[in-house]
Amino acid sequence: MGDRYSLQEEPFHPWIRTAPFFQGLPESVVEPALIHLVTRTHPANQVILLENDWGGSVYFIFEGWVKIRTYNLEGKEVTLNILGKGELFGEMAALDEVPRSTDVITLTTTVIGSLPAQDFVKLLQIEPLAGVRLSKLMARRLRQVNRRLRLRESDSQSRVADTLLFLAEGQGKRAQTGTEIPNLPHRELSSLSGLARETVTRVLTRLEKKGLIQRDQETICIPDVSALERLIV
């Protein structure tokens, strides 16, 4: 069941205050825009959106992780992105009113806020900063995809390193020991990098032995991001 979040009871949810998209936007604009926001908790491996669905909502991640996937001409699954807390998805279909171009599936138990597309578009129309934020988000995602496409012919070490840096740019968290990213299943890193899962496992082990990453059950820590960047050729 969905829990309707009432901004009238609490003007701003803590997540709203810290979400990059909403930071700095006037309360007088954000409050009415989010009045119809509905949150739901989804288990891992649940399909949230399917390719060719029509876009009636824009989605904000409160907790957890989702992957954006499509399929290549051979029918093989391709992971385009991994999104976590603070990110949004579904904005393209809301803007151009065409069917969705990818699937979205949860990787963990995930709490997602669903906002009617018309409310999101209205926010963009009345608040210029919201439009700028969305433009920067879409430009960053396009830049990341272009970089990964350029590296498709690089060696496996460069491609795995770039995948880790890609995740660090989008979801990295500063810690005392470096930048932490989620320790995703190797099949997801395989799909993101375009490499075989066994190859990804070997490269991760090599990077760990070199001290370029540190792993535990939940996270991968990158002690020195610049050192990992220097591996990419």
> What CATH number did the domain enclosing 131 receive?
2.60.120.10
* Pairing relationship of beta strands 77-83 and 66-71 according to DSSP bridges: antiparallel
Return the pLDDT at 16. Answer: 65
- Domain assignment present for residue 59? The answer is yes
- Domain assignment present for residue 90? The answer is yes
Instruction: Tell me: do 116 and 173 sit in the same domain.
Output: no
CA–CA gap between residue 141 and residue 58 (Å, rounded): 17
Q: Contact at 8 Å (CB) between 207 and 213? A: yes
- Domain assignment present for residue 233? The answer is no
Return the pLDDT at 185. Answer: 87
Q: How far is CA 5 from CA 13, 51, 52, 145, in A?
A: 9, 28, 28, 34
Which domain range does residue 49 map to?
12-147
- Domain assignment present for residue 166? The answer is yes
- Domain assignment present for residue 5? The answer is no
Which helix (H) or strand (E) is 117 found in, with range?
A: helix 117-126
Q: Record the pTM.
A: 0.80
Instruction: Tell me: do 129 and 189 sit in the same domain.
Output: no
Return the pLDDT at 222. Answer: 96
Q: How far is CA 191 from CA 12, 19, 67, 174, in A?
A: 37, 28, 10, 25
Instruction: Tell me: do 50 and 125 sit in the same domain.
Output: yes
Return the pLDDT at 9. Answer: 38
Return the pLDDT at 2. Answer: 45
- Domain assignment present for residue 4? The answer is no
Average pLDDT for runs of 10 along the chain of length 233? 40 62 87 89 92 84 90 83 89 81 90 92 94 90 80 87 88 85 88 90 96 92 94 83
Q: Each residue of 55-96: pLDDT tens digit?
A: 789 999 988 889 999 888 888 888 888 898 889 999 988 888
**Number of domains the chain contains:** 2
Q: Contact at 8 Å (CB) between 84 and 33? A: no
Instruction: Tell me: do 124 and 217 sit in the same domain.
Output: no
Task: Choose one of 147, 171, 205: the last residue of a domain.
Answer: 147
What's the CA dihedral at 84, 87, 90, 95 to 10 degrees? -170
CA–CA gap between residue 29 and residue 20 (Å, rounded): 16
Q: Contact at 8 Å (CB) between 77 and 18? A: no
Return the pLDDT at 127. Answer: 94
Tokens of 219: 């996270």
CATH of the domain at 195: 1.10.10.10
| 8-state DSSP, 109 | S
Task: Choose one of 132, 147, 162: the last residue of a domain.
Answer: 147
**Is residue 127 exposed (0-12), middle (13-18) or buried (19+ Cβ within 10 Å)?**
middle
